[in-house]
Amino acid sequence: MHEFKRLKLKNGVRVILVPQKQSLATTVAVLVEAGSKYEVKSNNGISHFLEHMCFKGTTKRPKPMDIAKDLDSLGAQYNAFTSQEYTSYYVKARNEVFDETLEIIADLYMNPTLDAAEIEKEKGVIEGEINMYEDMPQRKVWDVFMELLYGDQPAGWNIAGPKETVKKFTRDDFTSYRGKHYLAQATSLVIAGGFNEKGVMKKVETYFSALEKGKKDGKKKVMDKQSTPAEKIHFKESDQTHLVLGFRAFDAYDERKYALQVLSDILGGGMSSRLWQTIREDMGAAYYVNAAPDFYTDHGLIAMSAGVHHNKAREVVTAGLKEFERMKKELVSPAELSRAKDHLIGNFFLSLEGSDQIGYFYGGQEVMNMKLHDPKHVAKAIKAITAADIRAIARQLFKEKTMNFSVVGPFRNTSFGDILKLS
């Protein structure tokens, strides 16, 4: 499979090397424990905005064009993203330009100028991005769902933040936030692909040993309680109703996650899944329908989502609930269990073909302070799941009092509460 090495610089920066001799490319990714969960109400959105600003100029490359030009001249693929738990920057390029790749990503991560004029310009870009997501109901419904589950705390806020907050950010806000979070002990560096291992750590040390350690600001524990089913309807004149129906689960460190992954695959993991066959094929009520779990450092969820005809929304919800209920009552058949495991493992291994994908497989575990497992471990854990495990986890999680339902569509003064029921 994949050999990997976990090392650490003297200042605490964690380094993961995943050599792949057959790979034509190498990915260098930096991941830092600085996501929207580390924010407060007054700076919601700053993690995401700071991610943008790291591409807007460094001490060595003072203009955005300087960074873009140098990366493009390498023929590189590059980007960054912000999640609730962390922010990441990556560059993927051919092996021959690894040294240049490492230097550039270190520069943009370590030395952003955070120019005040660039900040003002970028506010318009961020506002445009927020507006874009508002116009995407298939995505918006998930924002509504997370707000329903977690309310007025970081886990329930939009990662990009509200426009009125974003408009107020100053350079001091960025330098203050960065100084509290972009620290050595909170930083993980992943190098995966066909790079030459010889001398690589010396190069890493050259660029990253200057990163300061300091005192890291933490985050508040997520309040994750519920005693009655809840719904949230977001009115939008859309051509399709988008809905999410789900339940609270557990965090990413819980070993029950493998059983929940298999359950989710049976429920809505592909074209042979129960939800697909019932809602799309038999009812003809939706174009897309699926189910999946989502795990974080101190909470988690499992949910189905679908885009349905407006007049069939209630039918789809009822059909979905029947499938959730069925998981609690019946043992899945040996054939269905085997098919789901093969589908999960097969897709998982296919997802690790690129240097960027395998890099983030290990990097994601590291930045969330998880024990590092290789793909074989994951496959073995999935294979070990039994039908009894699946029914047990369904009985633990699929309870009416922890049910949540969000909708984006043309609904005013409407409630689905009368059908949000489980026995």
- What residues are annotated to the active site? 51
Whole-number Å distance between alpha carbons of 41 and 47: 12
CA-to-CA dists, residue 293 to 55, 252, 260, 365, angstroms: 32, 10, 7, 17
**Do 201 and 7 touch, CB atoms closer than 8 A?**
yes
- Cβ-proximal residues to 233 (8 Å cutoff; 6+ apart), any chain: 406, 407, 409, 411, 414, 415, 416
Whole-number Å distance between alpha carbons of 346 and 23: 20
Whole-number Å distance between alpha carbons of 381 and 365: 16
Q: Please state the φ and ψ torsions of residue 312, each to the nearest 5 degrees.
A: -115, 10
Sign of the Cα torsion 100, 105, 106, 108 reads positive
The DSSP secondary structure of 166-196, one letter per residue, reads HTT--HHHHHHHHHHHS-GGGEEEEEEES--
Q: Please state the φ and ψ torsions of residue 367, each to the nearest 5 degrees.
A: -70, -25
Rg of the chain (C-alpha set): 23
**Do 196 and 358 touch, CB atoms closer than 8 A?**
no
Compute how many other C-beta atoms are within 10 angstroms of the C-beta atom of residue 239: 10
| Residue 258 C-beta-side C-alpha neighbours within 13 Å | 15
Sign of the Cα torsion 299, 305, 310, 312 reads negative
> Residue 301, class by beta-carbon neighbours within 10 Å (0-12 exposed, 13-18 middle, 19+ buried)?
buried
Whole-number Å distance between alpha carbons of 181 and 188: 13
Which tokens is 312 given?
């069939």
- Given the structure tokens 């575990």, which residue do they identify? 365
**Do 31 and 367 touch, CB atoms closer than 8 A?**
yes
